[in-house]
Structure formats: structure tokens, C-alpha cells
Amino acid sequence: DAETVVAGRRCAYAVRPGLPSGSTPTAASALLAEQALTGTGDDVLLLDVAAALPAFTLPAHCRVTVGFHHAGMHAAAQRGLRTLHRAVQWLSPGTTVPDESMAAVYIEASATHDAWLRRVTEGYRALRPGGVLWAAAPNDAGGKRLSRDVRALFGSVYERSKAHQRLVSAVKPATAPHPLPWHDVAGVWRDTTWPVFAVAGRSYATLPGVFAHGRLDEGSALLCAHLPDLAGTRVLDLGAG
């Protein structure tokens, strides 16, 4: 394991072979951790923020909930935060917090647009009216669209750039847009309905944010071409895509 320093705070994170991309600190997560020093509100939600860095910088009075779409990132963040003297509530991948239960939400935006839309919609629903959303991403990997998407939900945004990263914030209005933008996209995630596609007579399903979403990558295609009929059997998939 290793440590980094953000805004004068020592932040631990897990380092081991096989951890997914995004498990270790990123420039975007560090930017969110710097912002978290101000500690907006008591109930705070971190969604897909690499290494859950803001948990190290939020003021002591904040009650922190952490969620990741990827189980590997979830496990890595738990290991990194194991020595942190703060009670942290962990969301299992695929679960959400109750609507209007949070005073602030921090999101590290995915480079996959559908996955980002899912997360920002979840963040919007989690916020109380008057609650604050903070989102960050590299300018060349989703950062340039943050303002447009956040504005569609919140109405107005604040943004700034630093070290090739984009930071966006917005306050949840008392009245929500109706219907919510991207309702179908958000519904795919919230209802855990996996879009299905067919290749060579077999059906496959993936969610946005999963590697090779909506298609069969070359490695998986090669593996599937040599698989026997697996109907009715239990199968262990170890990173097969």
C-alpha cells in the first residue's frame, strides 16, 4: 500500500497487481479532495471517486457514504481507508442511497458517457434541495461535457479548470426538471436491466461503464468460440470481459 498528500493531508490507498484502473488516486480525485476541505453539509456521498480521497479531507463532522460501480475499486478503497479514524458507510455496487438524503455529492466522472449520466442522475436524486454536487474529470476524458450535462439537471453551474482537469459544481433547485433528462439511460442502471445483443447465435448483456459495452471484444469472442454449451451449469468468470 502507499500514501499521497492532498492539501496537506496524508491519504492512503491500496496498491496491488490486478486492481482496476481508477483504484489509485487521480488528478480529478485530488481536485475533489481539495474541494472537500470546506465540507458542505453533514451527509456526504462519494461516487466513483478514485481511492475515495475526499474521505481523508472532509471535516470530522461529515457522515460519509462511499459507492463504486466496480467491485474491485470498492474493495481497494475499503483497504485504503481501513486506518482512517472515521466511520464510513459503504454502498454495495449497484445500490443507491435514499432520494434527498444527502447534503453534498462528489463524483469522479467516467469517460463512458452513459456511465457518467447514470452517476450524475443518482447524485441529483440523492441530494436534498439546496444540496451541492461536485464533479470532476480530465478535460480530454469527459471533462468538457460536465457543464452541459450538469446544467441540464440543475439549471446553472459553476466550473473551473486546473491542471487539465475540469471541476463543476451546482446547487439542487427546489423544483426538478420533468421528466429527468436521460430517463431511459438512468433507468437502465436503476432497474438493473441489462441491454442484450446477439453475436453468432448467442446473447450477451452489458451495462454502460463495463469494458466493451454493447459489443463483444476480441478476447471474449475467442474464448466464447471455444466454450461448450453451458446451459444449466455454474460458471466462474475471472475477468473474461
Spell out a b/e string for 91-113, using b for 16 or more CB atoms within 10 Å of the CB, else e.
beeeebbeeeebbbbbbbbbebb
The answer to whether the beta carbons of residues 168 and 162 sit under 8 Å apart is: no
Q: What is the reported pLDDT for 104?
A: 97
Beta strands 9-13; 2-6: pairing state: antiparallel
Say how far apart CA 63 and CA 40 lie, in whole Å: 11
Q: What is the reported pLDDT for 94?
A: 77
Q: What is the reported pLDDT for 209?
A: 58
Q: What is the reported pLDDT for 138?
A: 92
Handedness of CA 116, 51, 173, 121 (dihedral sign): positive
Percent above pLDDT 90 for the chain? 40
Q: What is the reported pLDDT for 59?
A: 92
Cell of 223: 474464448
Residue 17 preceded by cis peptide, ω within 30: no
Cell of 129: 434541495
The answer to whether the beta carbons of residues 119 and 110 sit under 8 Å apart is: yes
Q: What is the reported pLDDT for 211?
A: 65
Contacts by 140-143 with C-beta closer than 8 Å and gap 24+?
Answer: 140/164, 141/111, 142/109, 142/110, 142/111, 142/113, 142/116, 143/28, 143/109
Sites in the chain below the pLDDT cut of 70: 20-21, 178-180, 182-195, 207-213, 239-241
Say how far apart CA 162 and CA 205 lie, in whole Å: 38
Q: How many CA atoms lie within 13 A of 43 on its CB side?
A: 14
